Amino acid sequence: MTGILSGLISPKADWAWRVAFLLGAIAAPIGIVLLTGAPVPLQADLPAWTIVAGGLLVGLGVSYGGGCTSGHGVCGMARLSPRSIVATAIFLSTTFATVFVVRHLLGGF
DSSP SS3 for 10: coil
Residues 32 and 74 in one domain: no
Total count of domains within the chain:
2
DSSP string spanning 47-107? Answer: -HHHHHHHHHHHHHHHHHHTS-HHIIIIIIHHTT-HHHHHHHHHHHHHHHHHHHIIIIIS-
Residues 38 and 53 in one domain: no
For 46-97, write each residue's pLDDT tens digit: 888 988 898 888 888 887 877 778 888 888 899 999 999 998 999 899 989 9
For 4-28, write each residue's pLDDT tens digit: 887 788 776 788 888 999 999 999 9
Maximal CA-CA distance, the chain: 50
Residues 13 and 66 in one domain: no
The range of the structural domain enclosing residue 37 comes to: 1-42
Residues 63 and 77 in one domain: yes
